[in-house]
Amino acid sequence: MPAPAFLEPWQLRAAFARSLSDMYGKEVPAYTTLLDVSHEVNADFVTQHGADAERLGSIARVTAERHGAIRVGTPTEMAQVARIFGAMGMRPVGFYDLRDASSSSVPVISTAFRPIERSELARNPFRVFTSMLVTADRRFFTADLEQRLENFLGARTLFGPELLALADRAEAEGGLPEDQAAEFLRLATAAFELSAEPVDQAWYRELEAVSAVAADIGGIASTHINHLTPRVLDIDDLYARMEARGITMIDAIQGPPDWEGPDVLLRQTSFRALAEPRTFRTADGEIISDALRVRFGEVEARGIALTRAGRAAYDAAVVEIDEAAAAARADDPGFTEAQRQQLARAVWQKTFPTTEAALADQELGWFTYEPVVEPVETQVSTGSTRESRVPAVVRQPIVYEDFLPRSAAGIFQSNLTSDGAKDASQEGTERDADWMAGALGRDLNDPFDLYADQVARSLTAAAETLGVDPATLTTTHRTTGATR
């Protein structure tokens, strides 16, 4: 089949995800090991579980699935990122404030760029968690440091005019001709490579004393992708296999515990950033080589998206586990991660039902409804049955496409060389979803609204196909097939 002469946004997105993955594999070899192990885990899972393995996404989707993370400094840079991802059909979704989600100094707020339509997600679900510094926040930066940071950030160019012009053109025209697409992909990938430019040592170290994240963002004149995360179908298996290969993982898998009920939201783990050689310019102009740990490897397993009620239950469960674990640790300093997991499982068992059906009935999880026409056998007279057909719907879980602030903070934290300094006596700067939308110059999508919309659309479509009232669909026409 000849290559297409024009690439649509989803094709740019899929090609960009591949291109970044190739680049990152060259730059961070442990990432390649992570991919190999992920493929093994997924292949074995599919062999063991058959069609059930694909309940939360086809194996083709899951194998290609990645999320990346980038960090920028200013609203201007954030708006430019939105244009580049906009060209690939990726929209900003959700507002995450990591300043309070972590005990370490993480002075950023974030959103995630991702496709929002179901059909687009199925084509390629590539998403990028994008964080920006809050330089005005006095808990982290003095007025003097804020000013010098702003000067530094204002003087740099992360994304050149050619890249931005191609991005705007792709967005306006619904894609790019092949040659321009190739150039766009080349420039976009290069914008996220690790720069070989010498780092100003004094400036980097000054920021690092406040926050390693601030130094990573504002201490250098470029940005870089700091991890690229594959998705696995069994993260406990992956964790064990990575350790068996001699790669040290962080202590815990973030998010829900391993338990007997349905997987919800997101579970993640990572290996620590590796020391990579970098050159520095010292205060007296000398170029020296040293190392920085900025890029790491993360992996994730995705579960069912939770409704607002489900999410509130999740958040409460997390607090309960934290408090119980802190108390247990105070009693017994030898309290282990395995014991914490055990405790987490117990909290989960009283918070969440063990079946998908109950998760749906209690309106804790999001599900779509697909029409089916079920044959029903009726006894007509002795020894003979007649088959009639009734309209029915099968319930399908919606996979969680977003992130968790708590886990994100844990991921940031596990990779910091020091906690930095945070002056809790100062007032934090107010930032919210509206502020972020203003910085982006675009609508910021609410994840809950997107899931709710997906459910509503599935019900309308199913009702139309079956010729019944959508309001009665889930209660009267639910098929017995969906009994998980």
Per CB under 6 A, contacts with ligand OOG among 297-316 are 298
Residue 340 in contact with ligand OOG, rule: CB under 6 A: no
By beta-carbon proximity to ligand OOG, the closer residue of 98 and 463 is 98
Distance between first and last Cα of the chain? 42
Listed ranges 135-143, 337-345, 408-416, 447-455: which one lies at the site for ligand OOG (CB under 6 A): 408-416
- 232 contacts: CB under 8 Å, gap ≥ 6: 38, 41, 42, 45, 62, 238, 299, 300, 301
Apex 123 CA angle, 118 and 126, nearest 5: 90
Report which DSSP code applies to 51: G
By beta-carbon proximity to ligand OOG, the closer residue of 71 and 231 is 71
SS3 463: helix
DSSP one-letter string for 12-47: HHHHHHHHHHHHHHHH-HHHHHHHHHHHHHHHHHHH
Contact, 186 vs 15, CB < 8 A? no
Per CB under 6 A, contacts with ligand OOG among 128-167 are 129, 131
By a kind-dependent CB cut-off of 5 to 8 A, residue 42 interacts, out of ligand OOG, Ni ion, none, with none
Instruction: Please report, as ranges, the residues that interact with Ni ion according to CB under 5 A.
Output: 69, 229, 298
Per CB under 6 A, contacts with ligand OOG among 200-229 are 226
Reading the block at residue 330, the tokens are 């105070």
Half-sphere exposure of 29 (CA within 13 A, CB side): 3
CA distance 423 to 210: 10
By beta-carbon proximity to Ni ion, the closer residue of 171 and 402 is 402
Listed ranges 23-31, 146-154, 239-247, 407-415: which one lies at the site for ligand OOG (CB under 6 A): 407-415
By a kind-dependent CB cut-off of 5 to 8 A, residue 403 interacts, out of ligand OOG, Ni ion, none, with ligand OOG
For residue 308, the Cα-to-chain-centroid distance in whole angstroms is: 18
Distance of closest approach, residue 455 Cβ to ligand OOG, in angstroms:
25
- 403 contacts: CB under 8 Å, gap ≥ 6: 67, 94, 96, 110, 112, 129, 266
Question: The tokens 């244009």 sit on which residue?
Answer: 83
By beta-carbon proximity to ligand OOG, the closer residue of 360 and 408 is 408
By a kind-dependent CB cut-off of 5 to 8 A, residue 184 interacts, out of Ni ion, ligand OOG, none, with none
Residue 318 in contact with ligand OOG, rule: CB under 6 A: no
Listed ranges 17-25, 50-58, 380-388, 400-408: which one lies at the site for ligand OOG (CB under 6 A): 400-408
Residue 411 in contact with ligand OOG, rule: CB under 6 A: yes
By beta-carbon proximity to ligand OOG, the closer residue of 176 and 292 is 292
Distance of closest approach, residue 112 Cβ to ligand OOG, in angstroms:
9
Question: Angle, to 10 degrees, between the axis of helix 201-210 and the axis of helix 143-155?
Answer: 130
By beta-carbon proximity to ligand OOG, the closer residue of 131 and 368 is 131
Residue 126 in contact with ligand OOG, rule: CB under 6 A: no
Residue 412 in contact with ligand OOG, rule: CB under 6 A: yes
Reading the block at residue 290, the tokens are 């040293």
Listed ranges 361-369, 401-409, 416-424, 459-467: which one lies at the site for ligand OOG (CB under 6 A): 401-409
Contact, 420 vs 323, CB < 8 A? no
Strands (E), 46-88: 66-72
Residue 407 in contact with ligand OOG, rule: CB under 6 A: yes
By beta-carbon proximity to ligand OOG, the closer residue of 66 and 278 is 66
By beta-carbon proximity to Ni ion, the closer residue of 298 and 402 is 298
Residue 69 in contact with ligand OOG, rule: CB under 6 A: yes
- 283 contacts: CB under 8 Å, gap ≥ 6: 201, 202
Q: How many residues touch ligand OOG (CB under 6 A)?
A: 12
Beta bridge partners of 177: 6
Per CB under 6 A, contacts with ligand OOG among 273-302 are 298
Listed ranges 33-41, 240-248, 322-330, 404-412: which one lies at the site for ligand OOG (CB under 6 A): 404-412
By beta-carbon proximity to ligand OOG, the closer residue of 184 and 296 is 296
Distance of closest approach, residue 239 Cβ to ligand OOG, in angstroms:
16
By beta-carbon proximity to ligand OOG, the closer residue of 231 and 278 is 231
Q: How many residues does the chain have?
A: 484
- In the list 140, 152, 239, 403, the residue contacting ligand OOG (rule: CB under 6 A) is 403
Q: Give the burial class of 352: count Cβ atoms within 10 A of its Cβ; 0-12 exposed, 13-18 middle, 19 or more buried.
A: buried
Beta bridge partners of 395: 369
DSSP one-letter string for 266-301: EEEEEEPPPPEEEEEE-TTS-EEEEEE----EEEEE
CA nearest to 225, candidates 20, 38, 410: 20
By a kind-dependent CB cut-off of 5 to 8 A, residue 71 interacts, out of Ni ion, ligand OOG, none, with ligand OOG
Distance of closest approach, residue 73 Cβ to ligand OOG, in angstroms:
13
Distance of closest approach, residue 419 Cβ to ligand OOG, in angstroms:
16
By beta-carbon proximity to ligand OOG, the closer residue of 224 and 484 is 224
Given the rule CB under 6 A, which residues bind ligand OOG? Answer: 69, 71, 129, 131, 226, 268, 298, 403, 407-408, 411-412
